[in-house]
């Protein structure tokens, strides 16, 4: 693949869109951390719990998804396990591998946490179905999905 030679997009509209995306991300993380704290969790613990509420997975995969070191994930899972929100179990496909899996209490906590996140839900509620669909499709396109 040839190196990109076109100039970076620095027109005012693009710069404004980039700033708005940054503000949305910042506000989302701020609210996510506040919601996590209401459940006596750190933001990182809440993110791991949310991931595991979708499916059990090995520590390395959690680390890849969160873009952090596996040793960090081990500590997070240890604290979640102490609270009874997560458990370690053998991977049925390879018993040498341990999976982190959400417990029923962890699943309920993750659902309550998700339900308490109003930041995105409230503004999105002001958009029509077609506008939300267009926004979703544009975001997917930006992410290469």
Sequence ranges of the domains in the chain: 42-117
pLDDT at 48: 96
Residues linked to residue 98 through DSSP beta bridges, in sequence order: 90
**Quick one: fold of 42-117?**
Arc Repressor Mutant, subunit A (1.10.10)
For 31, half-sphere exposure in the C-beta direction (CA atoms, 13 angstrom radius) is 16
pLDDT tops 60 at residue 117 = yes
Mean pLDDT in the chain?
89
Task: Give the pair of three-digit tokens for residue 61.
Answer: 């995969």
**DSSP H or E run through 112:** helix 104-115
State the pTM of this model.
Answer: 0.77
The 10s digit of each residue's pLDDT in 15-69 is 998 999 899 888 888 888 999 999 999 999 999 999 999 999 999 999 999 999 9
Among 84, 143, 134, 76, which Cα is nearest to 108's?
Answer: 84
């Amino acid at each position: 693949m040839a190196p990109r030679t076109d100039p970076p997009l620095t027109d005012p509209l693009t710069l404004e869109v980039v700033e708005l995306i940054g503000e949305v991300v910042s506000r989302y993380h701020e609210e996510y951390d506040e919601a996590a704290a209401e459940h006596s969790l750190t933001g990182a613990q809440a993110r791991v719990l949310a991931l595991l509420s979708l499916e059990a997975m090995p520590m390395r995969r959690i680390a890849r998804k969160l873009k952090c070191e596996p040793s960090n994930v081990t500590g997070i899972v240890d604290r979640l396990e102490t609270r009874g929100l997560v458990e370690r179990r053998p991977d049925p496909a390879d018993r040498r591998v341990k999976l982190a899996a959400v417990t029923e209490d962890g699943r309920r906590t993750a659902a309550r946490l998700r339900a308490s996140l109003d930041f995105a839900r409230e503004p999105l509620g002001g958009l029509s179905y077609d506008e939300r669909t267009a926004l979703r499709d544009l975001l997917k396109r930006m992410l290469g999905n």
